Structure 1
Amino acid sequence: MNITALRPKFIGCLEPIADIFIKLRFTPNMVSCTSLIFGLACAYLFFCREFALGAVLLLISAILDLVDGTVARKTGRESKFGAVFDWIVDKYVDSLVLLGVGMSGIAIISSYLPLAPGQEVYADLFVVALAIIGSLMNTFIKPVTYAEVGFEKREDGKIDDPLERVGFFGRPETILLLILGGLSGFIAPAVIIIAVCTNLSAFQRIIYLYLHLK
């Protein structure tokens, strides 16, 4: 069970926002690009250590990420490219936001370790790298499975597959932690949790695939 399972409820609540974009004649891909712009702005603010303001922009980016699919469905503009582009935008936002934290120079894990002078930066960037790798791998497993196994059934423009409900920690949990961490001032613990949990969740999906595909 993960937050992704609650996606339909969130999307239903955001339909009024989708209606606004439809009236403004935004295409689904335009909404996705807007989500990317807010994500890039968040990454820059995180880099500048403006974590609270960055968290607000990340929240807006996450909302728009849910809205683009609704705009596509309501306007009849669902497309395979749109679904792929949505994934690409998500991973750019995730990676750059986490990189923004790493490049900000704040102590993430170095303050907890007995390190020699000059090693602090490497320790913190290592944790950020783990968080980025976990975030990417947790998602990368899915398209590889689609290609090899052949999941094709779609629901609201997205491929519906068992992996959607496997893995206790995915993108929604990552974004939520970054938002809460930015607003509360505990961005470092948030990144540490993301680094650990995204990789464990990816491992959980690998075990699931091994048991069902071997």
Structure 2
Amino acid sequence: MESDILFGVVPALSTLGFLIVALVIYLAGPGKSRPRKNFILVEYIYWVFGPLVSALAKLGVTPNMVTLTSLGLASLAGLALANGLFFVSTFIFALTVFCDIIDGNLARKTGLTTRGGAFLDSFMDRLAEGVLFLGIAYYGGGNWVTVVAVAALILSYAVSYARARGESLGVNVKVGFAQRPVRMFILTFSILFSGLAAWAGRDVLALQLLGGGSGIIAIIAGQTAFIRVRHVMKHLDAVKQASSDEMAPLPSKSTDEGRVIPTSQIAGEMPA
């Protein structure tokens, strides 16, 4: 537990203290009169990470390098979680969030905003989410927590795949509650509270909190996956029906002699 506090709580509090002091400076100084195009916290994030982004750009670091670094950090977070280092895992995973912020800003600053980079970023986000659930599954030791963590992993991927596959078929699939930020919010706080329980000597409670957080994610992810699948199928069926209606043959008219006259000719027989 001492190592978890030393390498998790101390750097986390130091980073939080730095961000709070920087926020005060931003509000009192250059950020006070700056014209804002975005929400104030968004502008603050651009400002506080600006020097780091500029330094990375001068060093020739690309956004894809930062994205790959994010996956490496997420893997370390999952490894720490598997070994019960909850605070370390939370802090390292928070660094992956910073990487997500930095790679986007770096792409805009260097003019390297590409569709390939956006794809790589999204792909790495899914892998990062996966390694955290694997860490929980390993820590569960094969009990119910392991089962719930694996279920949360599968259903979370189902949510992402339903959107990716649906949009590849031309359907807008931005429906459902359990999008990635929501899942990561629940997961992060369940890990953090598990750390607090372990720090208080409540190891069983820590395990239950991990399982409970994973269970909530599994439930809402399953619901969202179902909603997205139904949404895509309804849309595709509606498109198919519309196409069938357009291609259906025109009705015909039978005469007394039994000869069939196409409807296209009937219009000429109708009175003006």
Q: Please confirm whether the aligned pair reaches a TM-score higher than 0.5, indicating the same fold.
A: yes
* Residue 195 of structure 2 corresponds to residue 163 of structure 1: no
1 or 2 for the larger relative contact order (CA 8 Å, sep ≥6)?
A: 1
The 5-angstrom pairing of residues 45-124 of structure 1 reads 45-105=80-140, 121=142, 123-124=144-145
Contact 1:127–1:195 (8 Å) recurs in 2: yes
Residues 67 and 24 of structure 1: is their aligned pair in 2 closer, same or farther, counting only changes over 3 Å?
Answer: closer
SS in 2 for 1:163: coil
* Residue 187 of structure 2 corresponds to residue 178 of structure 1: yes
Contact 1:18–1:71 (8 Å) recurs in 2: no
Aligned equivalents of 2:190 and 2:227: distance in 1? Answer: 25
The 5-angstrom pairing of residues 33-48 of structure 1 reads 33-48=68-83
Aligned equivalents of 2:163 and 2:121: distance in 1? Answer: 14
Report the Cα offset of residue 11 of structure 1: 5.3
Residues 80 and 40 of structure 1: is their aligned pair in 2 closer, same or farther, counting only changes over 3 Å?
Answer: same
* Residue 212 of structure 2 corresponds to residue 212 of structure 1: no
Provide the alpha-carbon RMSD of the alignment: 2.1
Q: Which residue of 2 aligns with 1:20?
A: 52
List runs of 5+ in structure 2 lacking aligned partners. Answer: 1-37, 195-208, 238-272
Report the Cα offset of residue 22 of structure 1: 3.2
Q: Provide the aligned length of Structure 1 versus Structure 2.
A: 181
SS in 1 for 2:169: helix
Residues 85 and 189 of structure 1: is their aligned pair in 2 closer, same or farther, counting only changes over 3 Å?
Answer: same
List runs of 5+ in structure 1 lacking aligned partners. Answer: 1-7, 107-120, 152-161
User: After superposition, what is the alpha-carbon deviation per residue over 1:183-210, rounded to whole angstroms, capped at 9, x for unaligned?
Assistant: 1113221111111111111112222223
Contact 2:163–2:228 (8 Å) recurs in 1: no
Aligned equivalents of 1:124 and 1:135: distance in 2? Answer: 16
Aligned equivalents of 1:56 and 1:163: distance in 2? Answer: 32
SS in 1 for 2:145: helix
User: After superposition, what is the alpha-carbon deviation per residue over 1:141-194, rounded to whole angstroms, capped at 9, x for unaligned?
Assistant: 222123222x7xxxxxxxxxx433x11011111111121111111322111111
User: After superposition, what is the alpha-carbon deviation per residue over 1:102-128, rounded to whole angstroms, capped at 9, x for unaligned?
Assistant: 10136xxxxxxxxxxxxxx25333211
Q: Which of structures 1 and 2 has the bigger CA Rg?
A: 2
Report the Cα offset of residue 89 of structure 1: 0.7
Out of 117, 133, 139, the residue aligned to residue 154 of structure 2 is: 133
SS in 1 for 2:78: helix
Q: Which residue of 2 aligns with 1:146?
A: 167
Contact 1:43–1:54 (8 Å) recurs in 2: yes
Residues 11 and 213 of structure 1: is their aligned pair in 2 closer, same or farther, counting only changes over 3 Å?
Answer: farther
